[in-house]
A and B are shown apart, each in its own frame.
Chain A
């Protein structure tokens, strides 16, 4: 399921997100990598519906986080801005979030789900 990074970063649905991702990648220091490069998808749910996020890891960093399926009762344009935030914050250095329950959190948990797979892949690789 791993795809070459170069071929999928263009899947970011709007230009603004892609630009943010590129800027974040330049200015942030490279952390020790907890993620394995590749493309990972995850699902998040709320009472308002489900969201699929696809996260691209490049050189151990979150290169993009995009909404790839939106089965919510509200328009996903309402939370489009979150896509850039994930990249800027490199947010998955938390295991869980307290107080996250609703709407936009469906995207958050979709990203967390996807990143848990990126971590899982990295861990299983490390054991080999």
Chain B
């Protein structure tokens, strides 16, 4: 038995659930609703085909092999790279989309569906950074100056959520859950703002708090996601050293779009609690940062939105 208006599909290495509230009075409404949900899922497939660093035929992999040539790319890929490089500049490289080579060195080089090891498109140089990626918004070209592998993992899922949300916007009340990265629109089935639990980074099944969200993305980056095979490090990498950031346990960001929430959350995670919070405040978004010792810091807006989970 499936609740009408809710569908879950494995996509982009996680489970994606889309729930639409209402639009179920007639067969015609339900048909239009279900068609919109399918179109929303298609955005995830398109972003995956475009931005996956695991798929040799993806647009980003082909771009990464085009060294030194200004390459015209799809609007989707351009938006993802433009945002990733802007975020890298904003964080002075604490967040860096050219971290891909080091991700592979740490063992994050297996396709999540097939578990097959993916060969690098190119051998990454030692000291590559986002500065080796030139973004030209006028001609919509990207130039990869040196051999490197672009990793859009921190922004691609958010972009897919945002594109799916745009598709569902006419339906007003809906939720998109891509493996714990969320976009909540309108109200839930009880006609109330959506309630969102923030996962406790150390106690599986527990929450550090609950917030209400309407027309907002809520994304969490945690050190509990995707541990490496030896359990020694996780997938949020400090670009300068290639080792995992250790001061932060999790960062939750609430923002108007998922790409911004996910990207800023990843960057704040790498920066550490204090500079991370400063980044979120500078960017004008709300967030909660849980340190490795489980102390919490939050923006004023997030403190207001949080209520304790009794």
Contact = CB atoms under 8 A, between A and B. Distances in A.
Interface string A82-122: 10011001010111111111111101110000001101100
Interface in B1-42: 1, 3, 6, 8, 10, 13-15
A47 interface: yes
Chain B residues touching A, range? 35 or more
Interface stretch (B59-67, B141-149, B201-209): B201-209
A95 B195 contact: yes
A79 B199 contact: no
Contact of B181 (A34, A79, A98, A105): A98
B124 interface: no
A104 B195 CA distance: 21
B133 interface: no
B222 A45 contact: no
Interface string B173-203: 0010101111010001110001111110100
A22 interface: no
A93 B192 CA distance: 12
B225 A97 contact: no
B199 A100 contact: yes
Contacts of A99: 180, 198-199, 201, 220-222, 225, 250, 252
Contact of B197 (A47, A96, A107, A116): A96
A97 B204 contact: no
A96 B194 contact: yes
DSSP majority for the B interface?
Answer: strand
Given A108-B205, A120-B3, A98 B13 contact: no
A109 B178 CA distance: 13
B33 to A, nearest CB: 16
Interface in B35-58: none
Given A102-B225, A102-B226, A104-B204, A97 B196 contact: yes
Nearest to B211: A98
A97 B252 CA distance: 11
Interface string A53-87: 00000000000000000000000000100100110
A6 interface: no
Nearest to B310: A89
A95 B188 contact: yes
Contacts of A30: none
A1 interface: yes
B152 interface: no
Nearest to B204: A104
A40 to B, nearest CB: 9
Given A45-B10, A46-B15, A120-B3, A96 B204 contact: no
Interface residues of A, number: 32
Contacts of B201: 99
16 contacts: A45-B8, A89-B309, A95-B196, A96-B197, A98-B196, A98-B220, A99-B180, A99-B220, A99-B222, A99-B250, A100-B180, A102-B224, A109-B15, A116-B6, A119-B189, A120-B3
B204 A105 contact: yes
Contact of A98 (B1, B112, B180, B204): B180
Contacts of B87: none
B252 to A, nearest CB: 6
Nearest to B261: A98
A120 B188 CA distance: 12
A123 interface: yes
A95 B75 CA distance: 33
A73 B14 CA distance: 16
A77 B153 CA distance: 32
Contact of A93 (B14, B195, B250): B195
